[in-house]
Amino acid sequence: MPGRMQEKFIFKSMESARDQLGDLLLNGHDDIPTFFGGPANHEQWYPIESRCPNRGKGTLKFDFYGMVDRLKQHVEDYEQRKRNGFSTLPAVV
């Protein structure tokens, strides 16, 4: 590895990485991903492309198209609630 690249990497053990992530993440240790030995399943947000229901719509390492679909649904729900005077509860997606 070239010397200038060595300055850009920090190698840690899994234990020290988990400790540091627990301090940095919004919900602490509850947000540590399973691939670091934590309880949070990040695969639901970063699906395996071959198993994704919207496969073929672009790069799916981040479920961009699923996010857009969910946001559109929330906007529609909001508009419907607004028309009804906000008397209904929002839909759970």
Residue keyed to tokens 């309880």? 39
Residues 44-90 pLDDT 10s: 776 666 666 666 665 556 667 778 888 999 999 989 888 888 765 55
What predicted TM-score, i.e. pTM, was given to this entire model?
Answer: 0.43
pLDDT recorded at residue 63: 66
Residue 9 confidence class, pLDDT cut points 50, 70, 90: confident
Give the angle subtended at the CA of 92 by the CAs of 91 and 93, to the nearest 5°: 110
Q: Decide: 32 and 43 in contact? Cβ < 8 Å.
A: no
> What's the rounded Cα separation, in Å, for the pair 58 and 49?
10
Q: Evaluate if residue 25 carries a pLDDT over 70.
A: yes
Q: Decide: 24 and 13 in contact? Cβ < 8 Å.
A: no
pLDDT recorded at residue 87: 60
Residue 3 confidence class, pLDDT cut points 50, 70, 90: confident
